[in-house]
Chain A
Amino acid sequence: MTTRVGVVVFPGSNCEHDVVEAVDAVGGSGELLWHKDKSLGDVDAVVLPGGFAHGDYLRTGAMARFSPIMDAVTRFAQDGGPVVGICNGFQILTEAQLLPGALYKNQGLKFLCQPAVLRVESTDSVLTRRMKVGDELNVPINHFEGNYVCSEEALAALRENDLIVFTYQDNPNGATADIAGIRNENGNVVGLMPHPERAAHPLLGSTDGALMLRGLIGID
């Protein structure tokens, strides 16, 4: 059965169509969900896409977490449903307390859109379950607030519980411990700054993002 992936559209989201296209291309079925909806329908997985939800006004992700659909997303995540936050989606997941920490402005105080080389650190996540620790992936970044920060205790817990999913090989934004993506303890909730949908076609220079999405929809 085709895995149905719901991609949540907040006003200001802009990567939703790209994610749907990339999910479809790897054999899943992407569909858009509206932030004012209270239910996720019958989707098998949820993606919070990149963009500028609510203009990123106040603070990235700070207002999106109060959108009506976020209650359903939280319940879905708590029930073990796969939830992936990409870029702005990662920022929303931290604001919604589904993942620890926060995303600060990049160390150089400039927006960065460029390729990034990631290292797979944990395979107990919906994105990496078919990968090996140490695998290298080329997946681009595109953010102003991608500098991951958390308390020392939180970092110790991330390390101890193998919750760091991806690190940068050449840290572009000053992120603590080179962190590019993390997961919750069950591995069903993953947040990452790089954009898998932008590395899902040979003409875009890398298909490593497609590998992540194949993991999400459960295809080997």
Chain B
Amino acid sequence: MNKSLHQSLGLTDDEAKAIEKILNRPPNHLELAMYAVMWSEHCSYKSSRIHLRRLPTEAPWVLVGPGENAGVVDVGDGIAAAIRIESHNHPSAIEPYQGAATGVGGILRDIFTMGARPIAVMDSLRFGLPSDPRSRWIAEGVVSGISGYGNAVGVPTVGGETVFDETYTGNPLVNVLCLGLMPADRLVLGRASGEGNLAVLLGASTGRDGIGGVSVLASASFGDEEKEAEKRPSVQVGDPFEEKRLIEACLALLDAGLVVGIQDLGGAGLTCATSETASRGGVGMDVDVAAVPRREPGMEPFEVLTSESQERMLAIVSPDGLDDVLAICDRWDVQASVVGRVTEGGLLRVRDGMDGPVLGELPAASLHEDAPSYDRPRRPPGEWEAAKSDSADDLPPPADVGADLLHMLSNPSWVYHQYDHMLFCNTVVGPGGDAAVLRLKHPATGADTGRALALTTDGNNRWCAVDPRAGTALTVAESVLNLACVGARPLAVVNCLNFGNPEHPEVMWQFSEAVDGMAEACDAFGIPVVGGNVSLYNESNGHNIDPTPVIGLLGVIDSLTRIPPGLAWRDGDRVIVLGEAGAGLSGSLWAAATAGHKRGQLPVLDYEQHRRVAGLVAGLVADDRLSAVHDVSSGGLGVALAEMAAVSGVGFRGARIHGHAELFSEAPSRVVAAVHPELLPEVEAAAAATGVAVARIGLATGDRLAIKGLLDLGLAAIADRWRSPMPELTSG
């Protein structure tokens, strides 16, 4: 059976009817193509909007919450920080280098659209197992793409995560977070106003690349490889040099006060940028499709309007300022063309020539406000109750605890050594630490505030596979503790919600549960959610990925006078665990990596206890009482100790860790800390005063990682495993 035109564009029959009702007539091909991209899952959030409303979004320091191009928070000293995270999963599965590269490009534009200079990028990456050649190819391509684009465009990549897990075979996750800074009084919003003002298209010419990217790629699942290859033309190609000049030109335009509103062209291209700026500003816009510079001849109007060619921005300027705008663009060799004008009323009109024939005409707001919203059916998986009683604590204990520990180690430095993480000379703690720490300098004057920003991204598919609600809450808690380890307090969350096919009720249930878990944790910690991105249809060959909400957490360090302790302890340090002991193994890396087990019930998160631990740790770090500190998360105490030993080159001799369950449990609200013997009483007193348990577990010394009755490994074996660029993990 032949598909109808609307079906082949990704619209349902009901959606096609709704469009006809809005227009009071059948849409023409151009109009239908515009609705198709704007009403796609990717642009409209039609399956997720109804749930996202449950997230807490307000706090006194929030300047802009969800819904704009980026969230913006006041970080003090007259400085505002813009932050956003976005996925580029599907393009990266098809063409890893360009998919990841354009992911970086897109998120940067979201930030400088707000008037902020991008100062840091973080990447949260998830791939299938490296033993699978295609997953390996994807991983290497993605990392090269981020390196090739991010380094050249001149924004440092200061951290992130790299996780390998079978669940991502055929459907990698590439989530990119960007942070930018601006003077607090220079917030720019993506809206048009002022009848007669001009819409100026800046940057690259428009080509046929990425047509239907949001509808064909991002809002559908993957089948066999042959079909994926056919989708390759839907992937855009990035040019970091064009983007670099575009950043400088746009920031110069904003500095000069020449811009009324500005909007990037990302998903859904010119259709999205023109309709969003117009509808936000309550105005209309005439768009002259003939004035759009093109990369190739013979492009149809619908292709020009929906192309996702990269490195383009739409600026709304007054006619008086046009000459100055063109002069600044000329200085940076940035192409600039007047492609539209702001009109009264709310109509978006596409014309051939500014006063030429009208090719398409629709209410600008209807592309956004009238987009469908679905409360899709949800239900827990049929075996949900049975899975809860299948605890990982009942798995057979390891034959060789040390071998299991080695098996779980992986060092992502092969990834971040390829990223410029030092540009702008702000990076006090870069990739490899619990959280990145960036000196906070005023974006206009360059004045050092003596304070710092801290940034982390965290996700845990195993926890969320076991229990999406509790797993998401635990992920937020881990982020909070990561910030505490560098002495920071949290300010704002952004999230990237990576889930499977929303048409499966189990997936929608996971999604809804995860949103509730995040809401609960953010409420409990008093952290507003200022932005997010939803990536659905992460499904390959009928297999939905584990639910993977990724949390980006921005925090602040109120006074930074020394480099935070980091993971490296010194010979002779006493090693302690701050926080209640835990032993539950369900959801742990150990259970997944050694037995493929992702069931049972997660360790319980006690918010009050967690806040106390985080507060204590942040205080001890600020007071320089710890030689080293590391949160206990993936791989439990065992992996935390091994990482600290590997980084410092000093071993560990310990006792009082009873059995593999205590060693590998990922129970929350715990950190490993190394303390100079003379400071130990003071640290223990501080813990007692805040009601946090302390356990002395050993001593940093020697060249072995030895725990009485449990394991004894040479540092050399750990370092070997640690150094291998892509260990053959069975899970990560």
Contact residue among A18, A54, A111, A113 (Cβ-Cβ distance under 8 Å from B424)? A18
Is B630 on the interface with A (CB-CB < 8 A)? no
Contact assessment for B422 and A142 in the assembled complex, using a CB-CB cutoff below 8 Å: yes
Cβ–Cβ contact B154 & A204, under 8 A: no
Among A21, A51, A57, point to the contact of B446 (Cβ < 8 A).
A21
Q: Does A92 contact B (CB under 8 A)?
A: no
Question: Given A12-B241, A22-B425, A54-B241, are A205 and B563 also a contact pair (CB < 8 Å)?
Answer: yes
Indicate the member of B154, B332, B421, B563 with the most A CB atoms within 10 Å. Answer: B154
A110 touching B425, Cβ below 8 Å? no
On whether the beta carbons of B425 and A12 are closer than 8 Å, the reply is no
Cα A84 to Cα B245 in complex, Å, equals 24
Indicate whether A198 sits within 8 Å of B332 (C-beta atoms), given known contacts A111-B418, A112-B418, A203-B563.
Answer: no
Measured between beta carbons, the chain B residues less than 8 angstroms from A11 are 241, 244-245, 248, 332-333
- Complex: A112 Cα to B563 Cα, angstroms: 23
Does any Cβ of A come within 8 Å of B147's Cβ?
yes
A22 neighbours in B (Cβ, 8 Å): 425
Q: Could you give, for residues 293-334 of chain B, a 1 whenever the CB lies within 8 Å of some chain A CB and a 0 otherwise? A: 000000000000000000000000000000000000000110
Q: Is the CB of A113 within 8 A of B245?
A: no
Q: Is the interface of A mostly helix, strand, loop or mixed?
A: mixed
Check if B419 is an interface residue, CB within 8 A of chain A: yes
Answer yes or no: B423 CB below 8 A from chain A CBs: yes
Count of interface residues, chain A, beta-carbon cutoff 8 Å: 30
Closest to A11 in B: B245
Q: Let me know if B151 is at the binding interface, CB within 8 A.
A: yes
Q: State whether the Cβ of A55 lies closer than 8 Å to any Cβ in chain B.
A: yes
B417 at the interface (CB under 8 A from A): yes
List residues of chain A with CB within 8 A of the CB of B425.
18, 21-22, 197-198, 200-201, 204
- CB atoms of A113 and B446 under 8 A apart: no
How far in angstroms is the closest Cβ of chain B from A99?
A: 23
Q: Does A176 interact with chain B (Cβ within 8 Å)? A: no
**How many Å from the CB of B639 to the closest CB on chain A?**
23
* Given A54-B241, A56-B152: A17 in contact with B424 (beta carbons within 8 A): yes
* B contact residues around A51 at 8 Å (CB): 154
Q: Does A15 contact B (CB under 8 A)?
A: yes
Q: Which residue of B152, B240, B420 is within 8 Å of A113 (Cβ)?
A: B420
When distances are taken between beta carbons in the complex, the residues of chain A under 8 Å from B248 are: 11
Contact residues in B for A110 (Cβ distance below 8 Å)? 147, 417-418
> Which residues 240-258 of B sit at the A interface, judged by CB distance below 8 A?
240-241, 244-245, 248
Q: How far, in whole Å, are A66 and B69 apart by their CA atoms in the complex?
A: 39
Q: Which residue in chain A gives the minimum CB-CB distance to B446?
A: A21
Kindly provide the distance from the CB of A66 to the nearest chain B CB, expressed in whole angstroms: 14
A52 CB within 8 Å of chain B: yes
Nearest B residue to A57, CB-CB = B241
Give chain A interface residues in 1-45, CB to chain B under 8 Å. 11-12, 14-15, 17-18, 21-22
Nearest-neighbour CB distance to chain B for A109, whole angstroms, equals 10
Known: A11-B244, A52-B154, A113-B420. A203 touches B428 (CB 8 A): yes
Q: Which residues of B contact A140 (CB under 8 A)?
A: 422
B638-650, CB under 8 A of A: which get 1 and which 0? 0000000000000
Q: Is A119 located at the chain interface by the 8 A CB criterion?
A: no
Report whether A111 and B423 are in contact in the complex, using a CB–CB cutoff of 8 Å: no
Question: Is B332 a contact partner of A14 (Cβ separation < 8 A)?
Answer: no
A140 to B430, CA, bound (A): 13
Q: Cβ of A142: which chain B residues have Cβ within 8 Å of it? A: 151, 420, 422-423
Residue of A nearest to B148 (CB): A111
> When A and B form their complex, which 6 residue pairs have the shortest distance between CB atoms, in order from nearest?
A55-B241, A14-B154, A52-B152, A111-B418, A18-B425, A203-B428
Additional 11 contacts, C-beta under 8 A, given A18-B424, A198-B422: A11-B245, A12-B244, A14-B244, A14-B423, A21-B446, A55-B240, A112-B417, A113-B421, A113-B422, A142-B422, A198-B425
